[in-house]
Structure 1
Amino acid sequence: MITGINHITLSVCDLEKSFKFYTEILGCQAIANWKTGAYLLAGDLWLCLSLDSSTRTNPMEEYTHIAFSISEERFLEYSDRLKVLRVKQWKQNTSEGDSIYILDPDHHKLELHIGDLSSRITATQKAPYKDMKFFSESVNSQQSTVNSQTPKNIQILSKPTNTKIAIQGVNVLTPDGWLEDATVLIEDGQFTSIDQASSPNGFHLINAQGLQMLPGIIDLHGDAFERMICPRPGVNFPLSIAIADNDRNLLASGITTFYCSITDSYEPGLRSRDSARALIDFILGAGKQVLNCNHRIHIRHEEANIAGHQELCDWMVSGRVHILSINDHLPPPGNQKRLSRYLNSVKQRSSMSIEEIEELINQVTERRHEGDVQIEQLVDLAHTYGIPLASHDDDSLEKVTLSQQRRVAIAEFPATVDLAAKSREYGAAVLMGAPNLVRGGSHLGLMSVTEAVKNNVIDCLCSDYHYPSLFYAPFKLQELGLMPFEQAWSLVSSRPAEAAGISDQKGKIAPGLDADFLLISPDNSLPSAITAISSVYVAGKEVARYQT
């Protein structure tokens, strides 16, 4: 009597390529390999790869395929990864249980499937196939379990097909204040109605009794994704994996619109033009299929970076840049404090030696004047094509005056209260980092958010280098008695939308705007406020759930 499947052997034409596919992409365990073959484990299944010159060159037309089990917790992670890596699919799922159907490098038809024979029989007993007969009343299922590294209280959700949603019984933070026990109607990704009287027909109903609805957070300046790409000096992860992982961190912090702050520098590696290009290409290309947070591009252009000027101009003209900030992190000659800080910063994101960094600084300093004309061309392009222009770290009246001449829309991190006030006088929105508030001050010893709030010289907050701080900040401002929560939340939602020129699309819970919002439990305080997030919605679709 047959007791089970002993092993499966697959013919392959390129052993190294197939070995990497099954181990690195699908996650099979490598047991042994040799010149013409390899042994792997897929759960408890013995899988053999065998080098064969007669391996098929196209998929077979028949339905024959191998289905691997995968846990529900890991399915979307694997599905997203396969899409990012552009693994070919050969079929769309129409059966019980989630599945993704893919081809391996040798065109073998594979399936990753949630469920087992027991769940399939349960489903078909309710809806039998034509002329279906059952030979046993019970089925003992054996299912391999894939260990999950995703926290069990976090679910990244597939997008519902119903475009008409009614969220009922929720307390909503509207532009006019709180509206209690409201019904919020959403159609085609936008708010259509917020009131206390709607009894909708034809809508998918969601009971949000006891929850609060807040506008989704808009982050104009965040670069914590760099630590996803390069967690240690000289150690880099594949861009697609790093940014997909970063997307989940954004959602976990309540951020629904993210201006990915990409440094366009003269440095090699993480902050190079090559890196900037790769990030833009992924985010605006393949990333659209896997990223749930609304991503936009914020280019932080270093004044001293004179290479590739025309390419940057082309990006702006073609609509690939959504905020342009002018940065100058090159240490001025003779400023030892700035030099030491810069050397330490570059060391943390590269494997360059101190001597190599110093030589780079010398080379760039000699030619930095060549960038002056380029900067003015970029400023003109920004105004011509409606791209918000930002200054960065203005620490003198001369710099603020120059920013005024450039008609800067956003003043990032001005150094003092007086300089922030001057920036607001000429019409710029002052943007400061939420970590400054949460930590209790600037890590560079400059103006604190607390000072800025007390002197009324702040308009917006951003995550800077720590996403969760942007969610915590309004709670902190309320806790310190500096600002009512409703006003504080506008610093991370409606006012950033205004500064970036997207207030006609985002930032408020109001008819006609994109339905980007959070559902949270009420009555929260630090330090556990972030655990109150129940669900995150982008364009009317629930993209993450943290409580059930």
Structure 2
Amino acid sequence: MSVQFHPPLRLVGATTLRDGKMQKRSVAIEGGVISKGPLPEVDLTGYLVLPGIIDLHGDAFERHIAPRPSAPFPLETGLHATDRDAAANGVTTAWLAQSWSWEGGHRSPEAAEDMMQALSSLRAHLMTDLRLQLRVETHTVDTADRLLAAVRRFGIDYVVFNNHLDEALTLAQARPVELALWAAKSGRTPEAQLALVETARKQSHQVPRYLCRLAEAFDTLGVHYGSHDDPDGETRERFSMIGARICEFPTTRSAAALARAVNDPVLMGAPNVVRGGSQSGNIAAVDLIRRDLCDALVSDYYYPALARAAFRLVDDGVMDLPAAWAMISARPAQILHLSDRGIIDHGKRADLCVINATTRQVEATLVAGRLTHLTGEAARRFLGGRAGLALAAE
């Protein structure tokens, strides 16, 4: 399938984030990249032109695939809806956080393989650069060969390790009602769910060797990997030592501080910033940001939180807009080694987010120079301006 680009154009009149500063500079787009030279103009006076948002971890797709636990929809339907949800919120590149767990159901290896296949089949028809992040439970030792085969087959480039077994054991022992609800979601009885937990627990002595095997394979394959929900510095240090350098959602300051000490990037949830704290009672992201213990923000479960978090940091006096926006664009690009995006510069991909400076609403999103979202006054400017830009049916 050949790549189709929109006609060349120049965005003028807006305040643009370039070279780490907000500037009154135009942005030329040609052949899907940031260009130079005189081109047909679109007047975006009153708007901000910012680098497209890069989301390293989001599971909002789960609500599009199964809006209710008992009402699943086809993966293709959910992925198309996710694509549009991301675009409407200024997201140009996004990793969908898909579990690979002993828990079964939508978190099972079978479900992960189905998701990988669906995304691979649809990728050429999606507007956003959607990719898959695998959240691998540490106690899935017997799936090693299957996991590595899937990573190779589908070109998975990002994996994080989880260990939610202790949480499951606590649930089983102290909160039987929640255990029953958890079991029901997977179509099991509480007794069957407990048996599954016990089977996973028996793998504990094999887990260190399993993780080292995966780490060695990931290094060979060029897969970026890290860990999720580190509860303390000791856990983060163990993961860092095997090469799992990305620290995703540390639940305590000590875990984030250890990551900073060994130069491991720390990711936190944008909803945590917008809401003023963690919905699960863990450390507040803004506390880590104020202490320079957080490198990037991710959507977690809500795409609108990304842009809103950046503006919240500005409004609260934590940092200026260039620094705040870098946490959802330039820094994620650096962490995943995406050298072609994350900033607005000549030769980079034309991945852009156009925001109404007054309302702070995303009114246009461009991915490699193609409009993936267009609404409001920006739509009139694009469609009625000198550029005469038409939305292509692609």
Give the drift of 1:277: 0.8
> Could you say what the CA RMSD is over the residues aligned between the two structures, in angstroms?
2.3
1:533 maps to 362
Matched residue type, 2:117: D
The 8 Å contact of residues 317 and 381 in structure 1, kept in 2 or not, is answered as no
The 5 A counterparts of 1:274-353 are 274-285=110-121, 287-318=122-153, 320-331=155-166, 335-336=170-171, 340=175, 343=179, 346=182, 349-353=185-189
Give the drift of 1:445: 1.8
The 8 Å contact of residues 98 and 134 in structure 2, kept in 1 or not, is answered as yes
How far, CA to CA, are the matches of 1:311 and 1:165 in structure 2?
47
How far, CA to CA, are the matches of 1:246 and 1:459 in structure 2?
25
SS at match of 2:215: helix
Matched residue type, 2:224: P
Task: Report whether the alignment pairs 1:476 with 2:320.
Answer: no
1:190 maps to 33
Matched residue type, 2:14: V
Higher normalized contact order (CA 8 Å, seq sep 6+, divided by chain length): 2
2:387 maps to none
How far, CA to CA, are the matches of 1:347 and 1:253 in structure 2?
34
How far, CA to CA, are the matches of 1:231 and 1:333 in structure 2?
24
How far, CA to CA, are the matches of 2:267 and 2:70 in structure 1?
31
The 5 A counterparts of 1:171-190 are 171-180=15-24, 182-190=25-33
Matched residue type, 1:168: V
The 8 Å contact of residues 264 and 271 in structure 1, kept in 2 or not, is answered as yes
Give the drift of 1:204: 4.6
The 8 Å contact of residues 219 and 255 in structure 1, kept in 2 or not, is answered as yes
Shift of the 187–514 alpha-carbon distance from structure 1 to 2, 3 Å rule, reads same
Matched residue type, 1:296: R
Matched residue type, 1:177: K
Deviations 1:462-514 (A, max 9, x none): 01111111121011111111111221111111001111111x11111111211
2:299 maps to 463
Matched residue type, 2:106: L
Q: TM-score when scaled to structure 1?
A: 0.64
Give the drift of 1:355: 3.0
How far, CA to CA, are the matches of 1:419 and 1:501 in structure 2?
23
Aligned length: 374
1:431 maps to 267
SS at match of 2:13: strand
Deviations 1:391-411 (A, max 9, x none): 111112321220221233310
How far, CA to CA, are the matches of 2:74 and 2:18 in structure 1?
41
2:383 maps to none
Give the drift of 1:251: 1.1
The 5 A counterparts of 1:414-429 are 414-429=250-265
SS at match of 1:292: coil
2:206 maps to 370
The 8 Å contact of residues 168 and 205 in structure 1, kept in 2 or not, is answered as yes
SS at match of 1:331: helix
Give the drift of 1:344: 7.3
2:375 maps to 546
Matched residue type, 1:522: A
How far, CA to CA, are the matches of 1:536 and 1:162 in structure 2?
13
The 5 A counterparts of 1:82-121 are none
Matched residue type, 2:285: V
SS at match of 2:161: strand
How far, CA to CA, are the matches of 2:119 and 2:235 in structure 1?
32
Matched residue type, 1:514: R
2:392 maps to none
Give the drift of 1:381: 1.6
How far, CA to CA, are the matches of 1:385 and 1:231 in structure 2?
35
Give the drift of 1:165: 2.7
How far, CA to CA, are the matches of 2:174 and 2:209 in structure 1?
26
The 8 Å contact of residues 260 and 298 in structure 1, kept in 2 or not, is answered as yes
SS at match of 2:350: coil
Give the drift of 1:293: 0.8
How far, CA to CA, are the matches of 1:484 and 1:432 in structure 2?
19
Deviations 1:13-66 (A, max 9, x none): xxxxxxxxxxxxxxxxxxxxxxxxxxxxxxxxxxxxxxxxxxxxxxxxxxxxxx
1:206 maps to 42
Greater displacement, 421-430 / 333-342: 333-342
Identity of aligned residues (%): 30
Q: What 5-or-longer segments of structure 2 have no aligned partner? A: 380-394
The 5 A counterparts of 1:68-79 are none
Shift of the 538–523 alpha-carbon distance from structure 1 to 2, 3 Å rule, reads same
SS at match of 1:173: strand
Deviations 1:343-374 (A, max 9, x none): 37845853434333222212222234334322
Q: Which among 505, 517, 534 is matched to residue 352 of structure 2?
A: 517
Give the drift of 1:170: 2.4
SS at match of 1:166: strand
How far, CA to CA, are the matches of 1:278 and 1:364 in structure 2?
23
Matched residue type, 1:271: R
Matched residue type, 2:191: E
Greater displacement, 319-328 / 340-349: 340-349
Which has the greater radius of gyration? 1
Deviations 1:219-268 (A, max 9, x none): 10101111221222232111100111111111122111001111011122
How far, CA to CA, are the matches of 2:287 and 2:346 in structure 1?
35
Matched residue type, 1:306: V
SS at match of 2:258: helix
The 8 Å contact of residues 216 and 254 in structure 1, kept in 2 or not, is answered as yes
Shift of the 388–272 alpha-carbon distance from structure 1 to 2, 3 Å rule, reads same
Higher helix proportion: 2
1:149 maps to none
Q: Which among 459, 478, 487 is matched to residue 323 of structure 2?
A: 487
How far, CA to CA, are the matches of 1:348 and 1:224 in structure 2?
22
Give the drift of 1:208: 2.1
Q: What 5-or-longer segments of structure 1 have no aligned partner? A: 1-158
How far, CA to CA, are the matches of 1:406 and 1:367 in structure 2?
19
Give the drift of 1:214: 0.7
SS at match of 2:202: helix
Task: Report whether the alignment pairs 1:360 with 2:196.
Answer: yes
